[in-house]
Amino acid sequence: MKYSYIAKSALKHLRAGFKLPYMVMFETTLMCNMFCEYCIFGEEGKFNDLQSRGARERIFRRIDEFCDMGIFALSFSGGEPLLNPSTVDYIAYAADKGLWTSMPTNGLLIRKYADGVARLDMLEVSIDSLDPKRFAKRRGLDGLPKILENLAFVLTKRKPFTTQINAAVNLENLSDLPGLAEFCRERDLVLHPEAVHNVMRGGETLPDVELHGTEIDQVEHFLRELRSAYPKNVRFYTHYYEFYRRGGFGSQFPCRHPSKLISMKPDGAIHLPCAFYTLHKSQALLKEIFGSEPVKKIIAQEETLWDFCKGCKIGCPYEVSAFTNSPMLALESGLNFLRII
């Protein structure tokens, strides 16, 4: 079923001259039950976005529209996606239709929703240290033992195609990464380290959490060595560090979020140019949105970007942009993703 869906979607992209978006980032809720020191969501009561009437039905219809458009992949993100009780139903619906599904989660609720979570093609659990004290400091909650227990339980249910451990990395937890890589090797998981970077939302930025100067070199060097020691279990984009050093997105390496990665909010609204800044939002049909003049104008501007993009290095738009800006990287990542290289 998935393969026939992929083939049909590929044909739609071919017919449209590869101009269509191919992935969706659905922020199921911006609420969170953890308080990570480098994340903008870790603030109690800041968001309350599950009250929108009719949202559940609207999301199912949006998934239908994504399939009609030929979207390949749907990422269920957040906040903490499992705080939205409908998330597992959306996952099942999208998976049945043939979409490739993924979800990053802090792992606190994966046992409660184990059957739904087990349907994902890629489950990403965020663990940046196996030292309970350091974990509690960084993630704002003493939850490591429970999360590890939950993960072990979910892995006995059914193994998603890939289970990835996401580790936000800076100098504080660099020495914890070999332990995490070994943990992944023993369980046939993938470790995805990602350098901590500033995340902006609607113009609001966290206190500076970025790596500077030689810190970037140290992290990159360490990760390269780790990947050499664990080639099957450690995955990251080497080019990301060059991009980081150069200051992120810019005219040399434009962000392709507006044209290739659709941002959908908990109420089913589509936001542009991206999940992190809104110039345009709409509940209209997807084809109308992408055929409208204001949206065409926004997409045309992605080559030069906007002032608020200055310094942006956010991981998900980076990945989508890397594939679009560099076909060789796309090929390499595809093969790597399928675990062929």
Binding site for ligand SAM (CB under 6 A): 32, 38-39, 77-78, 80, 104-106, 126, 166, 168, 194, 196-197, 199, 209
Cβ distance to ligand SF4 smaller for residue 186 or 204: 204
Query: At its nearest, how many Å lie between ligand SF4 and the CB of residue 159?
Result: 23
Q: Which of ligand SF4, ligand SAM, none sits in contact with 272, Cβ below 5 to 8 A by type? A: none
Q: What CA–CA distances, in Å, run from 49 to 63, 89, 115, 290?
A: 19, 18, 25, 25
Q: Which of ligand SAM, ligand SF4, none sits in contact with 194, Cβ below 5 to 8 A by type? A: ligand SAM
Query: Residue 240 and residue 229: Cα distance in Å, rounded?
Result: 20
Cβ distance to ligand SAM smaller for residue 230 or 244: 244
Q: At which residue do the structure tokens 């994340």 appear?
A: 39
Query: At its nearest, how many Å lie between ligand SF4 and the CB of residue 250?
Result: 9
Does residue 184 contact residue 138 with C-beta atoms inside 8 Å?
no
Query: At its nearest, how many Å lie between ligand SF4 and the CB of residue 11?
Result: 28
- Name beta bridge partners: 262: 24
Q: Which of ligand SAM, ligand SF4, none sits in contact with 277, Cβ below 5 to 8 A by type? A: ligand SF4
Packing angle between helix 327-337 and helix 315-325, nearest 10 degrees? 120
Binding site for ligand SF4 (CB under 6 A): 32, 34-36, 39, 41-42, 78-80, 106, 126, 249, 255, 257, 273-274, 276-277, 305, 308-309, 312, 314, 317
Query: Residue 318 and residue 246: Cα distance in Å, rounded?
Result: 13
Give 95's DSSP letter: H
Query: At its nearest, how many Å lie between ligand SAM and the CB of residue 60?
Result: 22
Q: Which of ligand SF4, ligand SAM, none sits in contact with 88, Cβ below 5 to 8 A by type? A: none
Longest dimension (CA), the chain: 53
Structure tokens at 197: 């970077």
Query: Residue 8 and residue 336: Cα distance in Å, rounded?
Result: 23
Q: Which of ligand SF4, ligand SAM, none sits in contact with 93, Cβ below 5 to 8 A by type? A: none
Structure tokens at 325: 């800006």
Q: Which of ligand SF4, ligand SAM, none sits in contact with 100, Cβ below 5 to 8 A by type? A: none
